[in-house]
Amino acid sequence: MRITAKADYAVRAAVELAASEKSGKPVKGEHLAGLQQIPQNFLENILTELRRAGIIRTRRGADGGYQLARPAAEITVADVLRAVEGPLAAVQGVRPDQLSYGGAAERLPEVWVALRASLRDVLEHVTLADIARGRLPTAVKDRTRPKDAWRPH
């Protein structure tokens, strides 16, 4: 249940691209790395994966750089995470809908499926534009509101 550095970097970089979407100009790797304090070489590896997934577009040469391939309001955090890690939730590398257990644990897969559904509830509804603009959707706000949401559990 951990979010890796790679996944975190991917989202942060994508959000920065969302923020400079209106300029229309590509952002250079070096600049992007500086904005979010991410090791540049590592970041460029990640950006290449995002390009292969069709999330960003790139240009080489002077005046080159990275930019979103689609409007920021149409790219969700789930899209970015799936591009750099695989499926959102997996048990020992297997997707929860393909599991089958015997004995008393027979109904356990349903729990894993529900878990995945609740991840999707959040991740598929927050767009890069939402984060960049600081206007998070109610699906998120409602879940951060309860005082104990911020408890260090």
For binding to DNA (CB under 7 A), which residues are involved? 4-6, 26-30, 39-42, 44-45, 47-48, 51-52, 58-66, 85, 92-93
Residue 67: its H or E element = strand 65-68
Q: Which does 45 bind (CB under 5 to 8 A by kind): a copy of itself, DNA, none?
A: DNA
C-alpha to C-alpha distance for 14 and 66, rounded to whole angstroms: 10
What lies within 8 Å, CB to CB, of 54 at 6+ separation is: 69
DSSP state of 53: T
Tokens, residue 141: 């706000």
Q: For the purposes of burial, counting CB atoms within 10 Å of the CB of 147, is it exposed (0-12), middle (13-18) or buried (19 or more)?
A: exposed
Residue 39 touches which of DNA, a copy of itself, none (Cβ within 5-8 Å per kind): DNA
CB of 79 to DNA, least distance (A): 18
Q: Are 145 and 32 in contact (CB under 8 A)?
A: no
**Mask for 99-128, x = binds a copy of itself (CB under 8 A):** --xxxxxxxx-xxxxxxxxxxxxxx--x--
The residues of the shown chain that bind a copy of itself, judged by CB under 8 A, are 1-5, 8, 11-12, 15-16, 18-19, 35-37, 77, 81-82, 85, 87-93, 95, 97-98, 101-108, 110-123, 126, 131-132, 134, 136, 139-141, 143-144, 146, 149-153
